[in-house]
Amino acid sequence: MTRFLSELRRRNVFRVAAAYLVAGWIVMQVVATIGAAAGLPDWADSLALILLIAGFPVVLFIAWAFELTPEGLKQTEAVDAPTGFKPLGPGDYVLIAAVLVVLGVGGAQLVRAPDGDESHGIADGAGAAPVPDSADIADSSIAVLPFADLSPAGDQQYFSDGIAEEILNVLVRIDGLDVASRTSAFQYRGEDYLIPEIAEALGVRHILEGSVRRDGETVRITAQLIDARGDRHLWSETYDRPLTTGAIFAVQDEIATAIVEALRVFFDETAPEPVIAVEAVTDDVDAYTLYLEARAHFQARDNLDDADALLERALAIDPEFSQAWEMRAALPSLMEEYFFADISRDEVDHLTRLYAARALAINPDSALAVATLAKIRMNASAQMTQFDDWSEILAQYERARNIDPLNASVLLWQGIAQAYVGDIAGSLHSFEQCVMLEPAYRPCRENHYNMLIAAGQDDAALRAIEDALAAGTFSPDVISLGLLARAHRRAEFMIVASTPQRFLGWDGVGDLYEAFQDLGGDHTALARRLRDFIDRNPDRPIETTRDVLYVFDPGSEPLFSVQVFDPSLTRYRQSEHYANFVRNTGILDYWRARGFPPQCRPVGADDFACD
């Protein structure tokens, strides 16, 4: 054996093997690093490994049979075996060190990624324990993370998000699956989160992540399903397709089908057969791309004017694109509310009705179009520009909700309408459903704790605020100062009242707290100081300052807010302003037909009073 080993060393077999190992590892790292950017298929690294393994015995044979000389490659001549051990030279030590480095780095990579798969922007589980077994986490639960944008220019995140969201929209309608909300799951974007941590935070067992690479006329969509409880991959696939809507919708359908098949083992045996259907909303990929970009702005409530322009271009390409029409119908009122357009109330109504009619002509069951028509009626009545039938408005919202029970905008607007008419229980239920559906949707969170206050559930409202803080959906500018005063939380009151959107820079915040402790007292002087400050700071949002003014100066002007039933606003509800609002908007007729809210009661045949 000693003679054989000596001969291997004389023929440089050991050196060649070590050099081949180091060079092979370098080749694998290069392929893994530039593979995605170079457009190589996912199996490129596997092919490289197979070729390297196959080439190893060939290289060893060549090292044994031949040697490299100044004259070229020549057959190695046999010699008598050496009688002693030849000391190692500098080259030997370099190769040994290189092999040790390769083994160390390779071992560390295996420890970090035991399954050998790479995620796109999110670590699978390095440094994080798998999600433990828990009765609170359903085995059939899943979250769909935003897909990473691997496009060459890195400017297609809205497109990647759109692909992921469409898959989520299919999964959420599958009986037996417990799917985390979009707003919650899409918070986890980038490289700073580990899969087990995300799964635990979202209360799910499974995670779907992926990437989209759009390049010219082709698109590559990669998706992988991970069981966070064992931190292992259950399924993964890469789809290289032409950039057409038919191909994109087909891939979304295939991914959704694969997920359902992987998780069906957890379904109730009595559950009906899952129906998986991805709706082909348009046949034109350019129109679809414009729609996805507009939808990103619509959901974030940013650059709504740009969203409208994008939808206009999409509809010029495909005039039968009903989803684009219904979204465009919702934009005029939102652009007005979020100050993205200087648009008159008449123009808002005209455009909304025009776009909604086009959407409903194509799809009579467009929930967003139906709800949008109800919304413009609600807004016009709430601003006392028209008398309306609130039973019809609420019936429109109910119809929209029956069409699409999972539409957060419908739930939000319905809850606001119910709050206006004093249906506190109904409004609270709508906001609770909205929060359950989209825990990170700020408007639903804010209105939810406002309605808890109206229902007299101050402790629950404070807990809801704490939950909103934990969920990162907290805005101090909408918290009721009356709630904090009743809870005797003076420090929190002072902080919330002193935000830049409220009364920062005013020296009367301390006096304001004391006045809230004595709502029945005479606070005429304080009200005068408060109004003077508001008038001198017209840039402060009216909804965050005047609601406090109404507490101490109820005759100032009408208040249109879901907070009208806040216990602190008793004097406003007893004012002539509120009485005129109820009479002139159709709300009093609604109360006579459907019943008065707990805070109000009929007086005679034609009047009412509120506490």
> Is residue 379 scored above 50 in pLDDT?
yes
Query: What are 291-310's pLDDT values in tens digits?
Result: 999 999 998 889 999 999 99
- Which of 113-127, 156-170, 344-358, 570-584 is predicted least confidently? 113-127
Nearest to 25 by CA among 126, 120, 108: 108
Q: What count of Cα atoms within 13 Å lies in the side-chain half-sphere of residue 454?
A: 31
Residue 274, token pair as written in the block: 């899952």
pLDDT band at 86 (very low <50, low <70, confident <90, very high): low
Q: How far is CA 422 from CA 451, 462, 566, in A?
A: 10, 22, 11
Find residue 232's DSSP bridge partners: 227
Identity (one letter) of the amino acid at 215?
Answer: D
- Which of 364-368, 401-405, 468-472 is predicted least confidently? 468-472
pLDDT band at 543 (very low <50, low <70, confident <90, very high): confident
Q: Which residue has the higher pLDDT, 175 or 128?
A: 175
d(CA 18, CA 15): 5
Q: How far is CA 575 from CA 85, 326, 454, 516, in A?
A: 107, 39, 18, 18
Residue 123 is given by DSSP the state: B
> What is the model's pLDDT at position 486?
95
d(CA 274, CA 257): 9
> What is the model's pLDDT at position 112?
43
Angle at 419 between CA 416 and CA 420, to 5 degrees: 90
Residue 528, token pair as written in the block: 């005068």
pLDDT mean across residues, the chain? 85
Query: What are 313-348's pLDDT values in tens digits?
Result: 999 999 999 999 999 999 999 998 888 888 888 999
CA dihedral 19, 21, 27, 31 (to 10 degrees): -170
Query: What are 437-480's pLDDT values in tens digits?
Result: 888 888 898 899 999 999 999 999 999 998 888 777 777 888 89
Percent of the chain beyond pLDDT 90? 53
> What is the model's pLDDT at position 462?
94
> What is the model's pLDDT at position 4?
64
The class that CATH gives domain 141-266 is alpha beta
As to burial, measured by CB atoms within 10 angstroms (0-12 exposed, 13-18 middle, 19+ buried), residue 490 is middle
8 Å CB contact between 195 and 120 = no
Query: What are 174-226's pLDDT values in tens digits?
Result: 888 999 998 889 888 876 778 999 999 999 999 999 999 998 899 999 999 99
Please, which residues have CB within 8 angstroms of residue 520's CB and are 6 or more apart in sequence? Answer: none
d(CA 400, CA 412): 12
d(CA 222, CA 214): 12
Domain-by-domain residue ranges, the chain?
2-112, 141-266
Mean pLDDT of 134-146: 87
Mean pLDDT of 543-549: 81
> Is residue 119 scored above 50 in pLDDT?
no
8 Å CB contact between 361 and 319 = no
d(CA 271, CA 287): 37
Residue 227 is given by DSSP the state: E
SS3 552: helix
CA dihedral 361, 367, 369, 371 (to 10 degrees): 140
- Cα(first)–Cα(last) distance of the chain, in Å? 103
pLDDT band at 542 (very low <50, low <70, confident <90, very high): confident
SS3 333: helix
Mean pLDDT of 401-414: 94
3-state secondary structure 131-179: CCCCCCCCCCEEEECCCEECCCCCCCHHHHHHHHHHHHHHHCCCCCCEE
Query: What are 21-48's pLDDT values in tens digits?
Result: 778 878 777 776 665 445 566 566 777 7
d(CA 406, CA 411): 8
> Is residue 99 scored above 60 in pLDDT?
no
Residue 551, token pair as written in the block: 């507490």
Q: Which residue has the higher pLDDT, 598 or 120?
A: 598
Identity (one letter) of the amino acid at 300?
Answer: A
Percent of the chain beyond pLDDT 70? 83
Residue 60: phi and psi, rounded to 5, are -65, -40
pLDDT band at 513 (very low <50, low <70, confident <90, very high): very high
Nearest to 600 by CA among 377, 451, 379, 424: 424
Task: Look up tokens 């390409």; give the residue.
Answer: 317
d(CA 532, CA 263): 62
> What is the model's pLDDT at position 120?
46
> What is the model's pLDDT at position 116?
36
d(CA 223, CA 239): 9
d(CA 254, CA 219): 15
SS3 125: coil
Residue 144, token pair as written in the block: 């769909």
Residue 506: phi and psi, rounded to 5, are -95, 140
Taking residue 112's Cβ as centre, other Cβ atoms within 10 Å add up to 12
pLDDT band at 74 (very low <50, low <70, confident <90, very high): low
> Is residue 126 scored above 90 in pLDDT?
no
> Is residue 230 scored above 60 in pLDDT?
yes
